[in-house]
Amino acid sequence: MSKLFVKHLSKSWGDTEVLHDISFNCKQGSLLVLLGPSGCGKSTTLRLIAGLEDPSQGSIMMDEKEITHLVPGKRGIAMVFQNYALFPHLSVVENILFGLKARKIKKDEQQKRLKYAASVLGLSDLLDRRPSQLSGGQRQRVALGRAIVYQSSICLMDEPLSNLDAKLRQEMRQEIRSLQQRLGITMIYVTHDQTEAMTMADQIILMKDGEIEQIGTPEELYKTPATAYSGNFIGTPPMNILRPDQKILSAFESRKMDQELLSKIEKQCLIGVRPEHIQLDETGIPATINTIEYLGSETLIACQIENQPILFTTPNKLNMAPGGAIKIGWGVKNLHVFDAKSGKRDDSVYHQLLN
């Protein structure tokens, strides 16, 4: 059952349109991530859903009710902000109960929900402190607490982890995800960090320049990126997008490929291959090493074929110096083929390649 429908949503500031015709829906109890680089319109989309901005066009429906122009307080949403937005003059308790007091919910009900949220989030010992006496992770929990006690039908998160250090971010990531699943919260989560999106989401919406690039599960985004951009954005290190010149095509020639198909690929396509799918291969394409980064569990090698940079990982330590010559190869089935002009995935060429 879908909780939230966003239909043909657009937003302009003066003459510049920052959001073009966005449509998607979000299922009850699922975690939807809006992912994209800064300025792609993901935060604007979230603010439109929250009612903090007014859309230029389109509609938002929640539980089969139109909420497009409703004031934020009447939408039944909770929101967690990037800087937590805790009131510095109020204690943790007062911050958590702020919304319930404003909505005139009964005192004993307030206390019940407070107790529950505090125990779920492990805040019971911190209730009398001020936000300035809390660490970043604790502030984050208080902000979450404020969202939980409202028991809203939907919770919006605007880059909630971007102010935390790497280790804490990973902890909070797991914590938020498990909390969301345990309490069955419907959550829309905005981030620019693809790791967060991949690890937490039920559904990812990848955005670029105010438009949706791809909607799918993390697995779909990883395995079948709809565009070259999407392939490049998901995964660390990112997917290599290559112009198939003669040298790269020579890798396919050994497979006795149809010349017509090869020339079509050369002229009209881009090929994508993930770093983890490239290996050192004695029969492969010669490349020159630029840098070698030893990471322990794997080694990250940046090299180039002619003047096209390629990044790949290998599980073994490579005892070579930058400038050295290697040969690399990849399985054809791990290739992704994109149209050179539109950047769209072209599976017909891919299947022809496989046969």
Partner 1 sequence: MKRRTFYFSESLETTAAWLMGAIWLMPVLYAFWSAFHPAEYSTHLVLSAPLTLENFYRAWEQAPFVRYFLNTFLLVTIILIAQYILCTLAAYSFARFEFRGKSIIFSIILLQLMIMPEVLLVENYQTIGKLGLSDTITAIGLPYMASAFGIFLLRQTFKTIPTELVEAARVEGVSSVGILLKVYIPLARPTYIAYGLVSISYHWNNFLWPLVITNSVESRPLTVGLAIFGAPESGVDWSIITAATVMTMTPLLAAFLLFQRQFVQSFMRSGIK
What is the rounded distance in angstroms from the CA atom of residue 319 to the CA atom of residue 304? 18
Nearer to partner 1, 68 or 194 (CB): 68
Beta carbon of residue 335, minimum distance to partner 1 (angstroms, whole number): 45
Say whether residue 83 binds partner 1 (CB under 8 A).
Answer: yes
**Residues 16, 38, 89, 307: which binds partner 1 (CB under 8 A)?**
89
Q: From residue 140, how far is each of 92, 160, 185 by CA, in Å?
A: 11, 7, 17
Task: Please identify, among the stretches 20-28, 98-106, 219-227, 291-299, the one whose residues bind partner 1 according to the rule CB under 8 A.
Answer: 98-106
- Please say whether the beta carbons of 187 and 32 come within 8 A: yes
Nearer to partner 1, 158 or 346 (CB): 158
* The pair of three-digit structure tokens given for residue 59, joined into one six-digit string: 């509609």
Give me the half-sphere count of Cα atoms (radius 13 Å) on the Cβ side of residue 259: 0
Among residues 9, 32, 46, 77, the one that binds partner 1 under rule CB under 8 A: 77
Q: Indicate the pairing of strand 269-273 with strand 308-314.
A: unpaired
Shortest CB 269 distance to partner 1, Å: 46
Nearer to partner 1, 47 or 169 (CB): 47
Element (H, E) at 285: strand 278-294
Per-residue x/- mask for partner 1, residues 225 to 254, rule CB under 8 A?
A: ------------------------------
Q: Does 150 participate in binding partner 1 (rule CB under 8 A)?
A: yes
Candidate residues 12, 25, 56, 82; the one interacting with partner 1 per rule CB under 8 A: 82
For partner 1, how many residues bind (rule: CB under 8 A)?
23
Centre a 10 Å sphere on the Cβ of residue 10 and count the other Cβ atoms it contains.
17
CA distance 138 to 142: 6
Q: Is 73 in the site for partner 1 (CB under 8 A)?
A: yes
Determine which residue in the list 85, 120, 257, 318 makes contact with partner 1, applying CB under 8 A.
85
Question: Going edge to edge, which strands form the sheet with 269-273?
Answer: 240-242, 269-273, 336-339
Written in H, E and C, the secondary structure of 303-322 is: EEECCEEEEEEECCCCCCCC
Task: Kindly state the smallest distance separating residue 78's Cβ from partner 1, in Å.
Answer: 7
- Using CA atoms, how far apart are residues 160 and 227, in angstroms rounded to an integer? 28
Using the contact rule CB under 8 A, the part of the chain among 85-93, 176-184, 205-213, 263-271 near partner 1 is: 85-93
CB proximity list for 351: less than 8 A, separation 6 or greater = none
What residue type is 41 in one-letter code?
A: G
Nearer to partner 1 by C-beta: 83 or 124?
Answer: 83
Instruction: Give the DSSP H or E segment for 120.
Output: helix 107-121
Site mask, partner 1, residues 12-51, x = CB under 8 A? --------------------------------------xx
**Interacting residues toward partner 1 by CB under 8 A:** 50-52, 71-74, 77-79, 81-83, 85, 87-89, 98-99, 102-103, 146, 150
